[in-house]
Chain A
Protein backbone atom coordinates (compact mmCIF):
# COMPACT_ATOMS: atom_id res chain seq x y z
CA UNK A 1 0.00 0.00 0.00
CA UNK A 2 1.47 3.32 -1.05
CA UNK A 3 2.15 5.83 1.69
CA UNK A 4 1.46 9.54 1.83
CA UNK A 5 3.01 11.29 -1.15
CA UNK A 6 4.06 14.90 -1.05
CA UNK A 7 5.30 17.05 -3.90
CA UNK A 8 7.57 18.80 -4.44
CA UNK A 9 10.12 17.47 -1.98
CA UNK A 10 12.35 20.52 -2.11
CA UNK A 11 11.79 24.04 -3.29
CA UNK A 12 13.42 27.43 -3.05
CA UNK A 13 11.43 30.63 -3.25
CA UNK A 14 12.09 34.30 -2.64
CA UNK A 15 10.27 36.61 -0.27
CA UNK A 16 6.92 37.79 -1.57
CA UNK A 17 6.34 34.80 -3.80
CA UNK A 18 3.70 32.18 -3.20
CA UNK A 19 3.95 28.41 -3.10
CA UNK A 20 1.57 25.48 -3.48
CA UNK A 21 2.32 22.11 -1.94
CA UNK A 22 0.51 18.91 -2.79
CA UNK A 23 -0.36 15.83 -0.79
CA UNK A 24 -1.87 12.49 -1.80
CA UNK A 25 -3.06 10.52 1.22
CA UNK A 26 -2.94 6.79 1.75
CA UNK A 27 -5.65 5.11 -0.29
CA UNK A 28 -8.90 5.04 1.68
CA UNK A 29 -7.84 7.76 4.10
CA UNK A 30 -10.22 10.69 4.11
CA UNK A 31 -8.58 12.96 6.65
CA UNK A 32 -5.56 15.05 5.70
CA UNK A 33 -3.65 17.30 8.08
CA UNK A 34 -0.78 19.69 7.51
CA UNK A 35 2.02 20.51 9.92
CA UNK A 36 4.96 22.88 9.86
CA UNK A 37 8.22 21.75 11.41
CA UNK A 38 11.03 24.14 12.31
CA UNK A 39 14.01 23.68 14.64
CA UNK A 40 12.77 26.41 16.97
CA UNK A 41 9.03 25.70 17.12
CA UNK A 42 8.94 21.98 16.47
CA UNK A 43 5.88 20.47 14.85
CA UNK A 44 2.95 22.84 14.66
CA UNK A 45 -0.53 22.10 13.37
CA UNK A 46 -1.68 24.09 10.36
CA UNK A 47 -5.07 22.64 9.41
CA UNK A 48 -7.06 19.48 8.92
CA UNK A 49 -9.46 18.50 6.15
CA UNK A 50 -12.06 15.77 6.01
CA UNK A 51 -14.40 15.21 3.06
CA UNK A 52 -13.33 18.50 1.50
CA UNK A 53 -14.17 20.49 4.65
CA UNK A 54 -11.69 22.23 6.90
CA UNK A 55 -12.45 20.87 10.37
CA UNK A 56 -9.72 22.50 12.38
CA UNK A 57 -7.19 25.27 11.92
CA UNK A 58 -4.05 26.12 13.79
CA UNK A 59 -2.74 29.49 14.83
CA UNK A 60 -1.21 30.63 11.56
CA UNK A 61 -1.85 33.82 9.58
CA UNK A 62 -4.30 33.92 6.71
CA UNK A 63 -1.41 33.65 4.25
CA UNK A 64 -1.58 29.94 4.91
CA UNK A 65 -4.51 28.24 3.27
CA UNK A 66 -5.47 24.82 2.05
CA UNK A 67 -8.09 22.75 0.40
CA UNK A 68 -9.07 19.16 -0.16
CA UNK A 69 -10.45 17.64 -3.30
CA UNK A 70 -13.12 15.00 -3.74
CA UNK A 71 -10.45 12.30 -4.14
CA UNK A 72 -9.02 13.33 -0.72
CA UNK A 73 -5.90 14.83 -2.25
CA UNK A 74 -4.98 18.10 -0.59
CA UNK A 75 -3.03 21.23 -1.35
CA UNK A 76 -1.74 23.98 0.86
CA UNK A 77 -0.79 27.43 -0.28
CA UNK A 78 1.40 30.05 1.31
CA UNK A 79 1.19 33.53 -0.16
CA UNK A 80 3.54 36.47 0.27
CA UNK A 81 6.33 34.28 1.56
CA UNK A 82 8.47 35.47 4.46
CA UNK A 83 11.88 34.27 5.55
CA UNK A 84 10.29 32.69 8.61
CA UNK A 85 8.19 30.41 6.41
CA UNK A 86 11.28 28.34 5.69
CA UNK A 87 10.40 24.96 7.14
CA UNK A 88 9.57 21.34 6.50
CA UNK A 89 5.88 21.08 5.65
CA UNK A 90 4.44 17.71 6.51
CA UNK A 91 1.20 16.21 5.35
CA UNK A 92 -0.41 13.39 7.31
CA UNK A 93 -3.39 11.22 6.52
CA UNK A 94 -5.72 9.31 8.78
CA UNK A 95 -8.34 6.64 8.31
CA UNK A 96 -10.39 8.48 10.90
CA UNK A 97 -12.66 5.72 12.10
CA UNK A 98 -13.66 5.69 15.71
CA UNK A 99 -11.20 7.16 18.12
CA UNK A 100 -7.93 5.91 16.72
CA UNK A 101 -6.86 8.96 14.79
CA UNK A 102 -3.44 7.57 13.99
CA UNK A 103 -1.66 9.90 11.60
CA UNK A 104 0.77 8.73 8.96
CA UNK A 105 3.16 11.31 7.61
CA UNK A 106 4.58 11.86 4.17
CA UNK A 107 8.24 12.66 3.58
CA UNK A 108 7.53 16.38 3.61
CA UNK A 109 8.19 19.36 1.40
CA UNK A 110 11.22 21.36 2.46
CA UNK A 111 10.71 25.03 1.65
CA UNK A 112 13.54 27.53 1.71
CA UNK A 113 12.66 31.20 1.42
CA UNK A 114 15.50 33.52 0.40
Chain B
Protein backbone atom coordinates (compact mmCIF):
# COMPACT_ATOMS: atom_id res chain seq x y z
CA UNK B 1 0.00 0.00 0.00
CA UNK B 2 1.32 3.42 -0.94
CA UNK B 3 1.82 5.85 1.94
CA UNK B 4 -0.16 8.59 0.24
CA UNK B 5 -2.70 7.80 -2.45
CA UNK B 6 -4.64 10.24 -4.58
CA UNK B 7 -7.72 9.61 -6.68
CA UNK B 8 -6.67 8.51 -10.10
CA UNK B 9 -6.98 11.05 -12.83
CA UNK B 10 -7.01 12.78 -14.99
CA UNK B 11 -9.97 14.80 -13.77
CA UNK B 12 -11.82 17.00 -16.22
CA UNK B 13 -14.45 19.52 -15.14
CA UNK B 14 -16.24 22.35 -16.94
CA UNK B 15 -15.50 25.94 -16.09
CA UNK B 16 -17.51 27.06 -13.07
CA UNK B 17 -17.93 23.57 -11.64
CA UNK B 18 -16.58 22.17 -8.37
CA UNK B 19 -13.45 20.04 -8.66
CA UNK B 20 -12.99 17.45 -5.92
CA UNK B 21 -9.58 15.98 -5.24
CA UNK B 22 -9.09 13.19 -2.71
CA UNK B 23 -6.18 11.75 -0.80
CA UNK B 24 -5.71 8.97 1.74
CA UNK B 25 -2.66 8.31 3.88
CA UNK B 26 -1.44 5.30 5.80
CA UNK B 27 0.56 6.77 8.73
CA UNK B 28 -1.85 7.40 11.61
CA UNK B 29 0.57 9.73 13.42
CA UNK B 30 0.70 12.18 10.52
CA UNK B 31 0.16 15.71 11.75
CA UNK B 32 0.39 18.09 8.83
CA UNK B 33 -1.29 17.94 5.46
CA UNK B 34 -0.71 20.05 2.40
CA UNK B 35 -1.98 20.56 -1.10
CA UNK B 36 0.41 21.75 -3.75
CA UNK B 37 -0.36 22.84 -7.29
CA UNK B 38 2.17 22.19 -10.02
CA UNK B 39 1.85 23.68 -13.46
CA UNK B 40 3.57 21.86 -16.30
CA UNK B 41 7.30 22.62 -16.26
CA UNK B 42 7.08 24.48 -12.96
CA UNK B 43 7.80 23.62 -9.34
CA UNK B 44 5.12 22.77 -6.75
CA UNK B 45 3.35 25.75 -5.20
CA UNK B 46 1.75 25.49 -1.76
CA UNK B 47 -1.95 26.34 -1.92
CA UNK B 48 -3.40 24.90 1.31
CA UNK B 49 -2.25 23.49 4.61
CA UNK B 50 -4.46 21.84 7.23
CA UNK B 51 -3.64 20.42 10.64
CA UNK B 52 -6.95 19.83 12.45
CA UNK B 53 -10.02 17.82 11.61
CA UNK B 54 -12.68 19.71 9.71
CA UNK B 55 -12.74 22.22 6.91
CA UNK B 56 -10.43 25.09 6.10
CA UNK B 57 -11.43 27.60 3.48
CA UNK B 58 -9.24 30.00 1.53
CA UNK B 59 -10.96 31.80 -1.31
CA UNK B 60 -12.21 29.24 -3.81
CA UNK B 61 -10.29 26.44 -2.11
CA UNK B 62 -11.51 24.28 0.78
CA UNK B 63 -9.39 21.61 2.40
CA UNK B 64 -11.08 18.91 4.46
CA UNK B 65 -9.34 16.63 6.94
CA UNK B 66 -10.65 13.52 8.66
CA UNK B 67 -7.89 11.92 10.73
CA UNK B 68 -10.06 9.02 11.86
CA UNK B 69 -10.58 8.02 8.24
CA UNK B 70 -7.05 9.11 7.26
CA UNK B 71 -8.51 11.19 4.49
CA UNK B 72 -7.86 14.67 3.19
CA UNK B 73 -9.52 16.39 0.28
CA UNK B 74 -9.43 19.61 -1.69
CA UNK B 75 -12.44 21.28 -3.22
CA UNK B 76 -12.04 23.96 -5.85
CA UNK B 77 -15.19 25.99 -6.35
CA UNK B 78 -15.97 27.95 -9.51
CA UNK B 79 -13.13 26.18 -11.32
CA UNK B 80 -11.26 28.25 -13.88
CA UNK B 81 -9.10 27.17 -16.83
CA UNK B 82 -6.15 28.63 -14.92
CA UNK B 83 -6.72 25.93 -12.26
CA UNK B 84 -5.65 23.30 -14.80
CA UNK B 85 -2.57 21.72 -13.23
CA UNK B 86 -1.37 18.70 -11.29
CA UNK B 87 -2.46 18.75 -7.65
CA UNK B 88 -0.21 17.02 -5.15
CA UNK B 89 -1.28 15.86 -1.72
CA UNK B 90 1.55 15.83 0.84
CA UNK B 91 1.68 14.47 4.36
CA UNK B 92 4.17 15.19 7.12
CA UNK B 93 4.97 12.93 10.06
CA UNK B 94 4.30 13.16 13.74
CA UNK B 95 5.67 15.56 16.32
CA UNK B 96 9.08 15.06 17.85
CA UNK B 97 9.87 15.39 21.56
CA UNK B 98 10.36 19.11 21.15
CA UNK B 99 6.88 19.58 19.78
CA UNK B 100 7.97 20.50 16.27
CA UNK B 101 7.16 18.52 13.21
CA UNK B 102 10.26 18.06 11.15
CA UNK B 103 11.01 15.45 8.65
CA UNK B 104 10.06 14.56 5.17
CA UNK B 105 6.96 15.30 3.23
CA UNK B 106 5.49 12.24 1.54
CA UNK B 107 3.73 13.08 -1.69
CA UNK B 108 1.01 11.34 -3.58
CA UNK B 109 1.42 10.75 -7.29
CA UNK B 110 -0.73 13.75 -8.10
CA UNK B 111 -4.03 14.26 -9.87
CA UNK B 112 -4.07 16.05 -13.21
CA UNK B 113 -6.97 18.50 -13.33
CA UNK B 114 -8.21 20.01 -16.56
CA UNK B 115 -10.83 22.75 -16.48
CA UNK B 116 -12.36 23.21 -19.92
CA UNK B 117 -14.17 26.38 -21.00
- Closest beta carbon of chain B to A100's beta carbon, Å: 7
Q: Does B29 contact A (CB under 8 A)?
A: no
- Comparing B12-20, B39-47, B67-75, the segment that makes contact with chain A is B39-47
A96–B102 alpha-carbon span in the complex (Å) = 7
Describe B's contact surface by its main secondary structure.
Answer: loop
CB proximity of A82 to chain B, nearest CB, Å? 23
Q: Interface extent on A, as a size class?
A: 20 to 34
Q: In the complex, are the beta carbons of B101 and A99 less than 8 A apart?
A: yes
In the complex, the answer to whether A50 meets B102 with C-beta atoms within 8 Å is yes
Contact A104–B46 (Cβ < 8 Å): yes
* Chain B residues touching A, range: 20 to 34
B53 to chain A, nearest CB (A): 15
Q: Are B34 and A102 in contact (CB under 8 A)?
A: yes
Cross-interface CB contact of B95 among A33, A50, A99, cutoff 8 Å: A99
26 contacts between A and B (CB under 8 A): A33-B104, A33-B105, A35-B105, A42-B107, A43-B88, A43-B90, A44-B107, A56-B103, A90-B43, A97-B100, A98-B101, A99-B32, A100-B32, A100-B51, A100-B101, A101-B92, A101-B105, A103-B34, A103-B46, A103-B90, A103-B105, A105-B36, A105-B43, A105-B45, A106-B43, A107-B43
